[in-house]
Structure 1
Amino acid sequence: MAQPSALTGRVAGALAVPEVLDRLRTTHGGLSSAEAARRRAVVGPNALRTHHAQAFLVLVRQLRSPLLLLLAVTAVASFFVGERTDAVIIGAILFASVGLGFVNEFRAERAAEALHDQMRHHTLVIRDGASVSVDVVDLVPGDVVILRLGAVVPADLRLLAADDLECSESVLTGEGLPVTKTVEPVSAESGLAELTSCAWMGTVVAAGVGRGVVVATGGRTEFGRIAVGLGQRQPETEFQRGLRRFSMLLVKVAAVLTVGIFAVNLALHRPILDALLFSLAIAVGISPQLLPAVVSTSLASGSRLLARRKVLVKRLVCIEDLGDIEILFTDKTGTLTEGRIEFMRALAPDGAQVQLLGMVCCDIPDGNPLDAALWSAPGAPVAEARRYTKAGVLPFDHDRRLVSVLTDQGLLITKGAPEAVLSRCAAVPPEALDQLQHEFEAGHRVIAVATRDGVPELGPDAERGLSLQGFLVFSDPPKTTARAALGELARLGIAVKVITGDNPAVAARVCADLGLPAGDVLTGPDLDALDDEHLDEVVARTTIFARVDPEQKARIVRAQRHAGLDVAFLGDGVNDALALHAADVGIAVDSGADVAKDAADVVLLEKDLQVLADGVSQGRRVFANTVKYVLMGTSSNFGNMFSAAGASAFLSFLPMLPSQILLNNLLYDSSQLAIPTDTVDAEQLARPSRWDIGLIRRFMLVFGPISSLFDFATFFVMLQLFHAGPALFRTGWFVESLATQTLVLFVIRTRRSPFTRSRPSVPLLLAALTVVAVGALLPATPLAGDLGFTALPGGFFLTLLAMVIAYLALVELGKRRFFRATAPAPTSRPHPPGHRIHRRAARFSTTP
């Protein structure tokens, strides 16, 4: 086949269908598999961004830290002025920080790549003359795509056929209303919203069906050009914003201490180079250099744990977002119920006839679970249903909640939600309403079937004056694991609310069977009657929202977020996409609609609330362990640096060499790398936590000086009892400083009594004790001379033991008073402007 001419959607939209097919060298019957493979090799995959772990880019991200730049400059300066030991130690810190961060992030990237490979988007394409399902990345110009309700348009298409086809194009044009599509050419000068003969990548089929030929893929599409132009930078999450604010706090503290210490040393007429290196060591020492490694280790381990539990987190930092959830809105089918729809019976004088009509009134036999249950029911009249010839179809949409089929005999068959069908019937027997209410109260799903004879063609008024034929009753029992999962979510402080398109009585019965307090019940019409101000009040006390459409779902979510709560939404259908966008954390299911997966932050490979509860716990565990490191690191480092600043003002020599300060920090931080393995107290998992920079600052200012008290006690002991010179003084303070700031970890890591009511993990215990032992033994090794150390007298270790015990006891007492006086962090927060806008942009920039 000849090479097709290059086309864009704008050009193709102005051309007649035969000319478009000719220029693309294709037909209404699509391409052959061989030709599609040849074209894919030429044009590449139909993707805006593929998720590949690239070692070089991961390494570059590790090197962007200003702190690392400071370390590198200090190392180079130390090397060229002859301070080779300082240069080696700084180099080791650089290697540890960059290396550990690189290993963890690259491993996490590889895990994410493997998980993304499990999540595929498929579309129906005509290949070799037959419709087949292919991965969207394999689409090429010339492919003929079949569009159905709920599908995300996988590429820029020139429409070949449109049957009541409407597409929601808000992602491109900002227009909220769907656009009606036709096959007629339009002017090439028309705006994007007026090019009705085309369907654009990333838009959603809101109604009807159609077919289109692919004219552009990947970055050559209209959506692709926008996404590529915006770049691929991911938006900042609340967790990252907290880390950034914390880093700015450290920068300010370090700047004040560094400038002050440098000025003091110059005033004491010490060598400028020594004073500069000492000041830089102070700046480095107060900063937790391995914080990125600790965070990435926590997130990576959380990602691996969730992966084993069938949860795909699109970005690692979204793990912490899971921990913030306070309200979970979830659908009912497949989440609270088994999702195993079974046809029970038909309520009508002639039940077999109603079942037959219901089977005829569908797009395809397995178009949805209800139709599949009808066709697979024992004794279903399959052969008779297939003898009917359809003259037209009005497809199901979420506004009408109906589907209608016109047979070649002029019989219109309408099937759908009972309220929607009954409102279009000429008359409804009272006993039918009683039967319907009885089935709802029993928790069964019910579909109404009605007919109308003598309909010449389908149109807006065809579904009027119907005759009710009966009801089809289906069962969907509560899920056996849902009760335990709801209990676990309640223990985590998460309120679960149900949003469903089903009948309110059915939803209430399912919730009652699972032990979920029903609270108030709100329906779609009730919502429409409320303004936003009153809706906020009503939503807070409502548990079940029934018979709601997609926009109403999103409005409910926005109302709850307006109250300052972190909201998650779990859904898997096209009608859930708006609510997924509106939530703080959108959660979809891998078996769900493509548009739902694109809109979500988290994708479940198995639809189970227990998996969500595990994810929430893991997110809170990551945050809790990160804050442990922050609190311990800042308070201990601030205390040590404050002590160094004070000592340098009255000693005739530097209290610790720059290389010794850096070595102390390296050993201490190395022990903290085991923090991600630590256990977390149940009360820390019981509710969401937030970054509280004020609390961190207060903690640093309270516990840092306590550390300094024992540093000054060490100075007194070294000068008055041991009459220490510079080398002995520095060695004694090095060992004491490392021991106290490492062992205080066991007190600060929990608000409970350490060791008795909250035990650390074994790796953390071993890491801390090993570092203390290394620090104590280092002055007795051959390396001592090069590091500026000397052997310590035996009496020093007895004094050290007494000081450590006293220090830990005082910190424990201070900890209890501090947390009693500190009000708990608020469990809600107002969201920054544009919070979700940026996240929407990120979602739509993923692979289609």
Structure 2
Amino acid sequence: MAWAPDRPAGSARPPTARSPTAGRHDALADAPALAVLRGLDSGPRGLTEAEAEERLARHGENTIPGRRPASWPRRYARALRDPFTAVLLALGPVSALVAAWGTACVITGLVLVSSALRSRTEYQADRSADGLRHLVAATATVRRRSTPTAAPRFREIPVELLVPGDVIRLGPGDVIPADVRLLRTQNLALHQAALTGESAPVAKRPDDAPPAAAGEFERAHACFQGSSVASGSGTALVTATGADTHFARAYPARSRRRESAFDRAVNGISWMLIRFMLLTPPLVLLADAAVRGRGLETVPFAVAVAVGLTPEMLPVVVTTVLARKAAALAREHGVIVRWLPALHNIGAVDVLCTDKTGTLTCDRPVLDSALDPFGRPDPEVLHWAAVNSLWTLQLADLPVPDALDEAVLDAVAEPRSGTARPGLPPAYDTYDGVAALPFDPVRRMATAVVRAPGRHGRHTLVVKGSVEEVLARCTRLHATPPAGVQVNGPAAGVQVPAPVAGVQSVEPPGTVRASAPATAAQVPAPPAGVRSPQPPDTVRASAPATAAHAAAPPAPGVVVRAEDLAEDLSAPGAPLLRAVPGSGPREADADRPTGGAATGACAAEPAEDRGGERQLDDAERERLLGFAAGQAGQGLRLLAVALAERPARRGRYGPADERDLAFAGFVVLRDAPADTAADALAALAGRGVAVKVLTGDHPGTAARVFRDLGLEPGGVLTGARIDGMDDEELARRAERTAVFARCTPQHKVRVVRALRAAGHTTGFLGDGVNDLPALHAADVGICPRDAVDVTREAADVVLAAKDLTAIDHAVTAGRHATGTIATYLRIALSSNLGNVIAMLAAGVLLPFLPMLPAQVLLQNLCFDAAQLALAYDQPAPDALRHPSPLRPRDFLRFITAFGLVNAAADLATFAALALTVPASIHASGQAAFHSGWFTENLITQALVMVLLRAGTRAPAPIRAAAGALAAIGLLIPLPPLAGALGAAPLPLTYYLLLAAILAVYALVLLAAGSRHGGGAARWAADR
């Protein structure tokens, strides 16, 4: 992969740094379009293939520079920087200086093996993460020529092959592949949330004179890599690629990771042990010199004792455990851990900060209700909204349907079959589409022009969009639909079936139903014995509505759910909104106003109230805006729907026709909770993880999502209030607050830092470039697989989907790994400390060394090899319920207590050997003493592996390793191994006394473990 030559891969340029090439691109981008084309030696016809190849070689591929993969020597050198490895490397030369070559060789072998294993596992993890780059193949539509004289043509190429001077085509849904200067647009609007955090689309146009005071991302003529096309289309000139884009310069790759909580914990434990190790050799030498008068001949033994205290396999076990859990996460749940210590960090997380969309909610809204201008349920509003959505999508030829349109269409279709609901025919079957004006961020509305069957001389404009913008173009309130549409009543010539016997048709209070004029003869009476009651508040406008009806007080508390609308639309005897061919006004009455709202050109309507409509004055407009604001405060999103009739014409429709409209009502949408959100939140809460939402949305929207999930959001903290707090106050408030709204990227960073300052291990889930500062500030940064490249590069953990369930799996895996590492440390350190205490005591009590240096190292090597099986341990369920960080203070208390138990067993063994083996200075007696302690040491360590675990039953690998360890201990005193290792056979009486010692030792371990919460892990967690 090639990068720009002026910025080597892996370099982390400060955000303010600008290369000369980048500065030239910025200056060109602000020049007039013609000057930019000339400056880049390009033209509207695009580059030739030869020119593109030459520029690709000069500028490099259009990719974001990342960290260069480390070479094997570099990985190996990094593995050698471990504190324990450094101590072993220091002890090796000391052994060589006193000619203890066996000790030096064993130490060197331990260092080489552990470093090789660690390098290999980290390499495999990096390979898994790098594979994410190839999961999504991005392309761009570029205009190029095969030769200078050939005609240009558009074709798809990988975005990596784009070069400055290319002319590209943009359409809805396209991701901007590089920094570009617009040449031509048609209603172009971009989503720049990944860059700025703003969710609203931003209008773009090819201004030739950009305003000098415009902000970097506010320049209408410039589009930046990382944004995407919301609507419209255009052509643009590529001005910068790769390392020279704003995207790459503003958010450089993190070249060196900060120290994590896991690093701090392991380093704290390591340095605690290193202090003991540095004290051990001098103590052994002083004790032997003072009591026995021995000198340098005890140096190999002192070094062996120090090595015995060292958990040499700690780097190997840690890396193996983390790598195994990371591989299982990737294989089973699609979660990639890019940096192995991050698995511990996510297991230690007790606060998770996340956005709302895609985690707690679906990525698309759903219909909540359809309301008339007075806040009462009205399925007619939903019908007209569906007409608008269908014909806008069909006539505007949008390649990516708008999410709001899809929500409206889903509400009027059967959930499974996708067919129209009974009683509401599809709009494309009953209306003829004439024209469509798609949504754009300037007008903030979309219009469909349709013709109803039998209304060949009339066109109906159906407008849907922002409440403020639509109301600004309305002059009337609509109460009944245009002629030809029946609403809960029969139109001329339409028979409504009577209710089924025994079934009552009850309408909710406050319901307003509009219908075309109908006579009593057209509506058959119900069968005998069947009542058709109506609540007192029900109003039927079958004749022209009176002012009293139109002025009915609003009922903002009355809403109807989508499922309620579905029942209304399919109820027997209520074909609500059916437009019936031939049911419009008769030919002779075509020019006469009827009860409908669309009865002639709106411009020609009189200003006074008419049947079914009333004048929309300023007070009524303010009431509607206030009602919409109140609904928004409850977390709902409102779209206004308005209608107008125009005489049919052949000319084109434009925004100027969106005037003199009749306001029909509101379509209310909400963010639907994600299917797995409630269960995932419950699972995380059960593991002690508090979820906090940091969003740029309205406070009411975020709070409503929490309530929909069955949670109480409490007080909502907004970005404006965060600005007024200092860090100390924010830390206090952040702990008690679950929802943070109207947050900018800077607010998110402050909240994350405040939570960490309060002592919480904090995770942050984000997917945009604007989330990078918060990702860096958190203990563990998490992003979904489809996040932008630079965010994915900065994240510690990458999810297959933006789903809290995946995070729950990652938390579980992290705690499994942490519990396993903690078990290894407790077992290894308590056993090793007990041996060191016993060796120091033996140096004072015995006239000879209690064990030969080679035997000490062999024992240590056997124990270390057996401890690798602990990587397959399964912690107790209690270890998964709460975060269990590795705290050096807790380990010190634990290993001191259990180390003394081990030392007591060793001293009891010394007493048994004194009784059964001649305590003399003869070589045979010393060899038997060495053999007896060697055997006891390996068997007690095997018991520790099985009994000092956190789980209830040891897995098969641990049982096998413990059995092998005990077997080696029993075989060493026997020929032929005894002669090779300086051991000697032991008497039977020793084995009987040893069995008694081991039985008492096992009982003490079980009792101590039970006293401390039923296991080592639970004891540490309780601490």
Return the TM-score normalized by structure 1.
0.76
**1:158 touches 1:214 (CA, 8 Å); kept in 2?**
yes
1:243 Cα offset (Å): 0.8
Whole-angstrom distance in 2 between the partners of 1:764 and 1:805:
20
Runs of 5+ unmatched residues, structure 1 = 172-177, 396-401, 829-848
Which secondary structure state, in structure 1, belongs to the residue aligned with residue 556 of structure 2? helix
Q: How does 1:221-620 map to 2 (within 5 A)?
A: 232-267=255-290, 273-308=296-331, 309-330=333-354, 334-336=358-360, 339=363, 353-355=384-386, 357=388, 360=392, 364=398, 366=400, 368-373=402-407, 379=426, 387-388=435-436, 393-394=440-441, 403-404=444-445, 415-416=465-466, 434=556, 437-439=559-561, 446-449=637-640, 468-472=663-667, 479-496=674-691, 516-520=710-714, 522=716, 563-570=758-765, 584-591=779-786, 597=792, 600-620=795-815
Once the 2 structures are TM-superposed, how far is the Cα of residue 719 of structure 1 from its aligned partner? 3.1
CA deviation after TM superposition for structure 1 residue 365, in Å: 5.2
In structure 2, C-alpha distance between the alignment counterparts of 1:150 and 1:558, rounded to whole Å: 35
8 Å CA contact 2:203, 2:441 repeated in 1: no
Matched, 1:709 2:904: yes
Contact 1:440 1:446 in 2 (8 A): no
| Separation in 2, partners of 1:327, 1:792 | 58
Residue among 990, 993, 1010 paired with 1:799: 993
| Distance in 2 of aligned mates of 1:251 and 1:5 | 45
Q: Shift of residue 293 of structure 1?
A: 0.9
Q: Which residue of 2 aligns with 1:643?
A: 838
Deviation at 1:731, TM superposition (A): 2.1
- Structure 1 residues 98-129: Cα deviation after superposition (integer angstroms, max 9, x where no partner): 233233323333333334543x4847553557
Letter in 1 for 2:949: R
Aligned to 1:633: 828
1:728 and 2:919 equivalent? no
CA contact (8 A) 1:640 1:711 kept: yes
Give the partner amino acid of 1:415. G
Separation of aligned partners in 2, 1:5 and 1:598: 21
User: Residue 973 of structure 2: SS of its match in structure 1?
Assistant: helix
Shift of 1:492: 1.5
Q: 1:766 maps to which residue?
A: 960
Q: Distance in 2 between matches of 1:403 and 1:772?
A: 78
Alignment equivalent of 1:64, drawn from 63, 81, 84 = 81
Matches within 5 A, 1:76-91: 78=95, 83-91=100-108
* CA distances 1:56-106 after superposition (whole Å, capped 9, x unpaired): 433232233354354456556656865443344334423432233233323
Alignment of 1:777-792 (within 5 A): 777-792=971-986
- Looking at structure 2, the residues matched to 469 and 595 of structure 1 have their Cα atoms a distance apart, in angstroms, of 46
Residues 505 and 436 of structure 1: is their aligned pair in 2 closer, same or farther, counting only changes over 3 Å?
farther
Q: How far apart are residue 289 of structure 1 and its match?
A: 0.7
Per-residue deviation at 1:658? 2.5
Q: For structure 1, which segment, 632-641 or 268-277, has the greater mean C-alpha deviation from structure 2 after superposition? A: 268-277
Residue type matched to 1:240 in 2?
D
Q: Does 1:8 align with 2:202?
A: no
Counterpart-to-counterpart distance in 1, 2:735 and 2:1022: 15
Question: Are 2:163 and 1:140 equivalent residues in the alignment?
Answer: yes
| 2:146 is equivalent to residue 96 of structure 1 | no
| 8 Å Cα contact 1:262-1:279 kept in structure 2 | yes
Q: What residue number does 1:126 align with?
A: 142
User: Equivalents in 2 of 1:529, 1:423: separation in Å?
Assistant: 34
SS of the residue 2:849 aligns to: coil
Deviates further, 689-698 or 147-156: 147-156
Aligned 8 A contact 1:331 1:499 in 2:
yes
The farther-off stretch of 422-431 and 613-622 is 422-431
Higher mean C-alpha displacement, 291-300 vs 260-269: 260-269
Change (3 A) 1:483 1:735: same
Distance 1:352 1:472 in 2: 10
Contact 2:179 2:246 in 1 (8 A): yes
Q: For residues 136 and 256 of structure 1, what CA distance do their matches in structure 2 show?
A: 61
Alpha-carbon separation, structure 1, partners of 2:299 and 2:354: 59
Alpha-carbon shift at residue 439 of structure 1 (Å): 4.5
Structure 2 CA distance for aligned equivalents of residues 69 and 497 of structure 1: 42
SS in 1 for 2:783: strand
Report SS of the residue matched to 2:972. helix
Structure 1 residue 452, shift from structure 2 partner: 12
**Aligned partners of 2:126 and 2:822: how far apart in 1?**
24
State the Cα distance separating 1:824 from its structure 2 match.
7.8
CA shift, 1:217, in A, is 4.1
> Over aligned residues, Cα RMSD in angstroms?
5.4
Residue 47 (structure 1) aligns with: 64
**Is the contact made by 1:365 and 1:371 (CA closer than 8 Å) also made in structure 2?**
no
Query: Aligned partners of 1:272 and 1:677: how far apart in 2?
Result: 44
- Listed one character per residue, the Cα deviations across residues 244-267 of structure 1 (whole Å, up to 9, x for unaligned) are 111111111111222222334455
Any idea what the Cα deviations from partners look like across 1:417-446, whole Å, max 9, x if unmatched? x69987998999988873884449989965
Once the two structures are overlaid, the 10-residue window that deviates more, 25-34 or 761-770, is 25-34
Task: Report the Cα offset of residue 299 of structure 1.
Answer: 0.9
Hey, what's the Cα distance between the residues in 1 that align with 2:913 and 2:74? 49
Question: CA contact under 8 A between 1:328 and 1:570: conserved in structure 2?
Answer: yes
1:266-309 Cα distance to aligned partner (Å, 9 max, x none): 55687765333323222222111111111111111111111121
Question: How many percent of aligned residue pairs carry the same amino acid?
Answer: 34
Greater Rg by CA: 2
AA matched with 1:313: V
* Cα distance in 2 between the residues matched to 1:205 and 1:365: 11
Q: Could you list the per-position Cα deviations for residues 214-251 of structure 1 after superposition, in whole angstroms to 9, with x for gaps in the alignment?
A: 455445567767888x8722222111111111111111
Which stretch has the larger CA shift, 694-703 or 493-502? 493-502
Structure 1 pair 702–89 and aligned structure 2 pair: CA distance change class (3 A): same
Deviation at 1:621, TM superposition (A): 0.9
Change in Cα spacing, 1:96 to 1:310, as seen in structure 2 (3 Å) is same
Q: TM-score, normalised to structure 2's length?
A: 0.65
SS state at 1:49 partner: coil
Match of 1:831 in 2: none
How many residues end up aligned between the 2 structures? 798
Shift of the 117–780 alpha-carbon distance from structure 1 to 2, 3 Å rule, reads: farther
Give me the whole-angstrom Cα distance separating, in 2, the residues matched to 1:683 and 1:701.
Answer: 23
Q: 2:889 aligns with which of 680, 694, 697?
A: 694
Higher share in helix = 1
Any conservation in 2 of the 1:258–1:280 contact (CA below 8 Å)?
A: yes
C-alpha distance 292-529 of structure 1, shift in aligned 2 (>3 A): closer
- 1:169-207 per-residue CA deviation (whole Å, 9 max, x = no partner) reads 999xxxxxx99998669999x999999987776799999
**Per-residue deviation, 1:324:** 2.3
Distance 2:790 2:660 in 1: 36
2:857 is equivalent to residue 662 of structure 1: yes
Q: Is the 8 A contact 2:335 2:806 kept in 1?
A: yes
Match in the other structure for 1:743:
943
- Among residues 808, 822, 844, which one is paired with 2:1002 in the alignment? 808
Q: Distance in 1 between matches of 2:906 and 2:173?
A: 67
> For the residues of structure 2 that align with 1:326 and 1:256, how far apart are their CA atoms?
38
Measured after TM superposition, the shift of residue 141 of structure 1 is 3.5
Q: How far off its partner does 1:668 sit? A: 0.9
Q: Distance in 2 between matches of 1:501 and 1:227?
A: 21
